[in-house]
């Protein structure tokens, strides 16, 4: 599983290869779990927020589409993953060298992957978005049609 | 085809009601109509003429061209090739005195004696500038000469149309007018006789109905006396005459029945026991009486006859309940609208449907289509984006904007004000629609209250207030946009989408009310 993090190289040459591989396995499993949980929670929260959103007056149609903000849930999830990485690094590798850099990569990876998967699911799976807001999650996809109108 | 002949001011107001019902989709596929009123410049005629023009605009703009479409404005109104809109025919010249019409000066002394037996000097010298002023004797004399007008463009076209139609199919003609005034009272029977003389073959295919209105409004005699020289001279119509005039008319028609001289396939008698007070006016542009629920009942009678003339050649009555003790007085509910061929539930549902379309259009969708944000961000409104933002189907172009404007104007200036007048009669007597849905906080029309969109029918129930139905209707519109077939112009498609969505909402509400009732 550690091969998911194939681009990561050992920051400290003194760390045994077996320890590094074991650490990467742990980080990959944690990333997969955090991403999965984050995506599920994001989709549930998004779907609920979009479903609760009503059209009572004209302004409701043109107001910011706030349910999309649930994608930002990827940020705390990524910070959590980075924190776990930072915490487990020394215990797994008996070294602190390069700990910050590896944790930062885990933060970015978790954040981007969670946000991207959640966003793709929102725009590809129509049942998550009420029909009345169906074009709101990805307005840029419809700009060309708008431009030709 | 059905022909509706409206006699006098009351008949003209019934035409107004018929047009609103036709707009709601309750009318026949084709309706030929014209007005008989010697006072063709009176306010009611002018208002109805404008309404006919607006209806025609809406019919042209929104008539559907496939079975999937909405049912509204589908009645084609035939004005007998009139380029000037509604035709108003008067049997007298406005510059004449009544005696000129009778060619009085050339009559022999014996003939003059007969004239004096039937008419007073005041009536003979009455100028005809504002009609018969509630004198049926004058109208009857003038309209008895109807066969002499056979070369008049209106009557010749009408006669030609009727005679050719009866050779092809059943033809229905409804005459409507009051029997307590001047023109209506004097027009009904001469007209029926004239109609019966028209077809030379297939006479049984000509079905003739009459709607006779008995008093449902009044004005003060003292106001009439203060109304000017005409009133002081005794020429003006007086409310006190209405009851005896109605009685005389009823006795006359009863006489026709007993003497087997009955030319009607059906005759509908409609009135009210608490006549509403209107401002006195001798005629002319100031005569603009408000709509009354009796107009609505009369319109329903016309459409009922048009749908299927009853075969009994009988009289039908609609008036206040006398035998049932009604604690709230004499009220009008949906169940009080008399129907034979039409179904009360169908009529109520259709009017509810149209009411919702009108309220939603005026209160939400019309303003949305005018909102500049829509052009900038059409993706925010999926039904618009899917159906109207692209290519030739754009709803924002000038032609379609004009069509949408004519629909908005119809609802704002004609339809809702008319219903408001209907519901203004008495204190809460008309219990059909929820009047608070179109009144603002000060009680003046016209301000659509979107929080009453789910409570458009009487009564106003706090538990049914709220903006939830606005959201639910929007969802239905989005869904309907995917289902409704395209029409020849985007405005028709728009109305069809809104209509289908509103129909689903009405059906859902009806199911809910049935469950609540259970």
pLDDT in the model for residue B138: 75
Q: What is the pLDDT of residues A124-146, one digit of tens each?
A: 999 999 999 999 999 888 765 54
Instruction: Give the B-side interface with A, CB within 8 Å.
Output: 364, 367-368, 371, 373, 375, 377-382, 385, 389-391, 394, 450, 467-468, 470-471, 474-475, 478-479
Q: Answer whether A95's CB lies under 8 Å from A102's CB.
A: no
pLDDT in the model for residue B155: 93
Residue A136 with chain B: CB contacts under 8 Å: 379-380
> Does residue B286 share a domain with residue B361?
no
> Nearest to residue B192, comparing CAs of B263, B271, B96?
B263
Task: Return phi, psi of residue B468, to 5°.
Answer: -55, -45
Instruction: Look at residue B175 and give its three-state secondary structure.
Output: strand
Q: What is the pLDDT of residues B181-204, one digit of tens each?
A: 778 888 899 999 999 999 888 889
Instruction: Collect contacts of A13-17 with beta carbons under 8 A, ≥24 apart.
Output: A14/A95, A15/A93, A15/A94, A15/A95
Give a yes or no: residue B112 inside a domain: no
Give ∠ CA B356-B358-B362 in degrees, rounded to 5.
120
Q: Answer whether B133's CB lies under 8 Å from B182's CB.
A: yes
Instruction: Look at residue B33 and give its three-state secondary structure.
Output: strand
Domain end, chosen from B306, B341, B376, is at: B341
Minimal C-alpha gap between A58 and chain B (Å): 7
Separation between Cα atoms, residue A139 and residue A127, nearest integer Å: 17
Separation between Cα atoms, residue B479 and residue B473, nearest integer Å: 10
> Does residue B179 share a domain with residue B296?
yes
Residue B505 with chain A: CB contacts under 8 Å: none
Indicate the burial class of B105 (C-beta count within 10 angstroms; 0-12, 13-18, 19 or more). Answer: exposed
Say yes or no for a CB contact (<8 Å) between B478 and A132: yes
> Does residue B198 share a domain with residue B50?
yes
Which chain B residue has its CA at the smallest distance from A141's CA?
A: B379
Residue B385 with chain A: CB contacts under 8 Å: 135, 142, 145-146
> Does residue B300 share a domain with residue B398?
no
Say yes or no for a CB contact (<8 Å) between B474 and A136: no
Residue A149: band (very low, low, confident or very high) from pLDDT cuts 50, 70, 90: very low
> Does residue B355 share a domain with residue B329?
no
Instruction: Look at residue B324 and give its three-state secondary structure.
Output: coil
Separation between Cα atoms, residue B429 and residue A60, nearest integer Å: 38
**Tokens 């319109």 label which residue?**
B299
> Does residue B295 share a domain with residue B328?
yes
Indicate the burial class of B391 (C-beta count within 10 angstroms; 0-12, 13-18, 19 or more). Answer: exposed
For B386-455, give the DSSP string: HHTSSGGG-TTSHHHHHHHHHHHHIIIIIIHHHHHHHHTSTTTTEESB-GGGSB-TTS-B----GGGTT-
> Does residue B322 share a domain with residue B368?
no
Residue B375 with chain A: CB contacts under 8 Å: 149
Q: Answer whether B411's CB lies under 8 Å from B358's CB.
A: yes
Which chain A residue has its CA at the smallest distance from B385's CA?
A: A146
Say yes or no for a CB contact (<8 Å) between B382 and A139: no
Where residue B252 sits, what CATH number does that domain have? Answer: 3.40.50
Give a yes or no: residue B114 inside a domain: no
Say yes or no for a CB contact (<8 Å) between A132 and B394: no
> Nearest to residue B10, comparing CAs of B242, B254, B191?
B242
Close Cβ partners of B305 (under 8 Å, ≥ 6 residues apart):
B172, B174, B207, B209, B265, B266, B268, B341
Q: Answer whether B407's CB lies under 8 Å from B360's CB.
A: no
Partner-chain residue, chosen from B373, B382, B474, that has the shortest CB–CB distance to A134: B382
**Tokens 């006479």 label which residue?**
B203
Domain end, chosen from B284, B308, B341, is at: B341
Domain that holds residue B334: 2-92+128-341
Comparison of pLDDT for B101 and A88, the residue scoring more: A88
Domain end, chosen from B341, B361, B382, is at: B341
Instruction: Look at residue B244 and give its three-state secondary structure.
Output: helix
Cis peptide before B294 (omega within 30 of 0): no
Give a yes or no: residue B167 inside a domain: yes
Structure tokens at A11: 């920051």
> Does residue B382 share a domain with residue B324?
no
Minimal C-alpha gap between A64 and chain B (Å): 10
Quote the number of domains for chain B: 2
**Mode of pairing for the β-strands spanning B88-89 and B206-213:** unpaired
Interface test with B, best of A59, A135, A138, A139 (most B CBs within 10 A): A135
Separation between Cα atoms, residue B16 and residue B398, nearest integer Å: 29
Minimal C-alpha gap between A113 and chain B (Å): 27
Cis peptide before B446 (omega within 30 of 0): yes
Give a yes or no: residue B384 inside a domain: yes
Separation between Cα atoms, residue B263 and residue B259, nearest integer Å: 11
Separation between Cα atoms, residue B456 and residue B450, nearest integer Å: 10
> Does residue B234 share a domain with residue B370?
no
Q: What is the pLDDT of residues B10-20, one digit of tens each?
A: 999 999 999 99
Structure tokens at A61: 């149609």
Residue B380 with chain A: CB contacts under 8 Å: 61-62, 135-136
Which chain A residue has its CA at the smallest distance from B375's CA?
A: A146
Residue B378 with chain A: CB contacts under 8 Å: 146, 149
Tell whether the torsion through CA atoms of A11, A15, A19 and A21 is positive or negative. positive
Q: Which residues of chain B are modeled with pLDDT < 70? A: 65-66, 129-134, 219-238, 280-287, 322-329, 391-393, 443, 513-518
Partner-chain residue, chosen from B371, B382, B467, that has the shortest CB–CB distance to A132: B382
CA B460, distance to chain mean position in Å, is 26
Give a yes or no: residue B103 inside a domain: no
Half-sphere exposure of B476 (CA within 13 A, CB side): 22
Q: Answer whether B452's CB lies under 8 Å from B436's CB.
A: yes
Say yes or no for a CB contact (<8 Å) between A139 and B371: no
Close Cβ partners of B514 (under 8 Å, ≥ 6 residues apart):
none
> Does residue B380 share a domain with residue B505?
yes
Give a yes or no: residue B111 inside a domain: no
Q: Where are the beta strands (DSSP E) in A2-136?
A: none
> Nearest to residue A61, comparing CAs of B364, B397, B493, B407?
B364
> Does residue B356 share a domain with residue B337?
no
Say yes or no for a CB contact (<8 Å) between A146 and B379: yes
CA distances, B109 to each of B96, B106, B114, B474 (Å): 22, 9, 9, 77
Give a yes or no: residue B390 inside a domain: yes
pLDDT in the model for residue A58: 97
CA distances, B67 to each of A114, B57, B75, B242, B260 (Å): 49, 21, 14, 47, 45
Partner-chain residue, chosen from A56, A57, A131, that has the shortest CB–CB distance to B382: A131
pLDDT in the model for residue B233: 47
Minimal C-alpha gap between A126 and chain B (Å): 13
Say yes or no for a CB contact (<8 Å) between B379 and A139: yes
Separation between Cα atoms, residue B8 and residue B181, nearest integer Å: 8
pLDDT in the model for residue B164: 93
Interface test with A, best of B364, B365, B379, B394 (most A CBs within 10 A): B379
Give a yes or no: residue B119 inside a domain: no
Which chain A residue has its CA at the smallest distance from B373's CA?
A: A62
> Does residue B407 share a domain with residue B264?
no
CA distances, A7 to each of A11, A21, A29, B116 (Å): 12, 12, 16, 119
Partner-chain residue, chosen from B364, B389, B391, that has the shortest CB–CB distance to A146: B389
pLDDT in the model for residue B24: 97
Say yes or no for a CB contact (<8 Å) between A131 and B470: no
Say yes or no for a CB contact (<8 Å) between B390 and A145: yes
CA B135, distance to chain mean position in Å, is 24
Mean pLDDT of A17-38: 93
Q: What is the ipTM of this complex?
A: 0.89
Partner-chain residue, chosen from B367, B368, B385, that has the shortest CB–CB distance to A142: B385
pTM: 0.90
Separation between Cα atoms, residue B89 and residue B36, nearest integer Å: 5
Q: Give the number of other Cβ atoms within 10 Å of residue B343's Cβ.
A: 12
Q: Give the number of other Cβ atoms within 10 Å of residue B329's Cβ.
A: 12
């Amino acid at each position: 599983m550690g091969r998911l993090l194939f681009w990561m190289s050992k920051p400290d040459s003194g760390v045994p290869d077996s320890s590094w591989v074991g650490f990467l396995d742990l980080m990959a499993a944690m990333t997969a779990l955090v991403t999965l949980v984050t995506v599920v929670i994001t989709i549930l929260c998004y779907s609920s927020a979009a479903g609760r959103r009503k059209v009572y007056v004209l302004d409701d149609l043109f107001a910011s589409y706030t349910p999309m903000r649930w994608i930002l849930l990827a940020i705390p999830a990524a910070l959590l993953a980075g924190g776990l990485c930072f915490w487990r690094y020394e215990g797994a590798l008996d070294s602190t060298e390069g700990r910050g850099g590896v944790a930062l990569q885990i933060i970015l990876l978790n954040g981007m992957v969670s946000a991207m998967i959640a966003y793709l699911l929102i725009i590809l799976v129509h049942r998550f978005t009420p029909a009345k807001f169906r074009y709101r999650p990805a307005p840029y996809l419809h700009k060309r049609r708008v431009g030709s109108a | 085809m059905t022909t509706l002949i409206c006699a006098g001011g009351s008949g003209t107001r019934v035409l107004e009601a018929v047009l609103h019902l036709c707009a709601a989709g309750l009318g026949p596929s084709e309706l030929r109509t014209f007005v008989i009123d010697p006072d063709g410049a009176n306010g009611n005629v002018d208002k109805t003429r404008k309404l006919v023009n607006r209806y025609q605009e809406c019919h042209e703009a929104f008539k559907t061209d496939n079975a999937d479409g909405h049912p509204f404005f589908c009645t084609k109104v035939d004005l007998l090739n009139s380029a000037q809109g509604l035709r108003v025919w008067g049997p007298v010249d406005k510059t004449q005195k009544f005696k000129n019409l009778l060619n009085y000066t050339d009559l022999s002394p014996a003939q003059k004696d007969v004239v004096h037996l039937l008419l007073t000097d005041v009536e003979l010298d009455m100028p005809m500038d504002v009609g018969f002023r509630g004198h049926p004797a004058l109208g009857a004399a003038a309209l008895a000469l109807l066969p002499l007008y056979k070369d008049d463009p209106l009557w010749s076209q009408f006669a030609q149309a009727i005679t050719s139609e009866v050779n092809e199919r059943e033809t229905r003609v409804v005459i409507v007018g009051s029997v307590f005034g001047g023109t209506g009272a004097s027009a009904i029977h001469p007209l029926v006789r004239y109609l019966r003389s028209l077809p030379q073959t297939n006479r049984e295919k000509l079905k003739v109905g009459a709607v006779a209105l008995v008093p449902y409004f009044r004005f003060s005699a003292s106001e009439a006396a203060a109304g000017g020289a005409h009133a002081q001279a005794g020429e003006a119509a007086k409310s006190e005459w209405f009851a005896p005039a109605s009685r005389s008319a009823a006795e006359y028609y009863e006489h026709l029945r007993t003497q087997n001289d009955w030319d009607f396939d059906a005759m509908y008698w409609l009135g009210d026991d608490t006549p509403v007070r209107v401002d006195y006016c001798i005629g002319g542009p100031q005569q603009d009486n408000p709509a009354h629920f009796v107009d609505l009942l009369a319109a329903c009678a016309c459409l009922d006859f048009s749908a299927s003339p009853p075969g009994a050649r009988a009289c039908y009555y609609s008036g206040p309940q006398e035998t049932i003790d009604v604690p709230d007085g004499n009220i009008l509910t949906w169940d009080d609208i008399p129907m034979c061929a039409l179904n009360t539930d169908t009529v109520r549902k259709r009017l509810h449907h149209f009411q919702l379309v009108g309220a939603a259009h005026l209160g939400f969708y019309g303003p949305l289509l005018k909102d500049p944000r829509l052009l900038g961000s059409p993706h925010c409104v999926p039904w618009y984006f899917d159906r109207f933002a692209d290519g030739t189907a754009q709803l924002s172009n000038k032609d379609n904007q004009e069509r949408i404007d004519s629909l908005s104007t119809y609802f704002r200036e004609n339809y809702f004000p008319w219903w408001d007048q209907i519901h203004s009669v008495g204190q809460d007597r008309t219990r059909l629609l929820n009047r608070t849905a179109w009144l603002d906080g000060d009680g003046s029309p016209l301000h659509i209250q979107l929080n009453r969109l789910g409570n458009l029918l009487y009564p106003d129930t706090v538990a049914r207030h709220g903006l939830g139905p606005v959201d639910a209707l929007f969802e239905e519109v989005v869904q309907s946009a995917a289902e409704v077939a395209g029409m020849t112009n985007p405005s028709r498609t728009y109305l069809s989408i809104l209509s289908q969505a509103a129909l689903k909402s009405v059906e859902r509400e009806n199911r809910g009310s049935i469950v609540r009732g259970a």
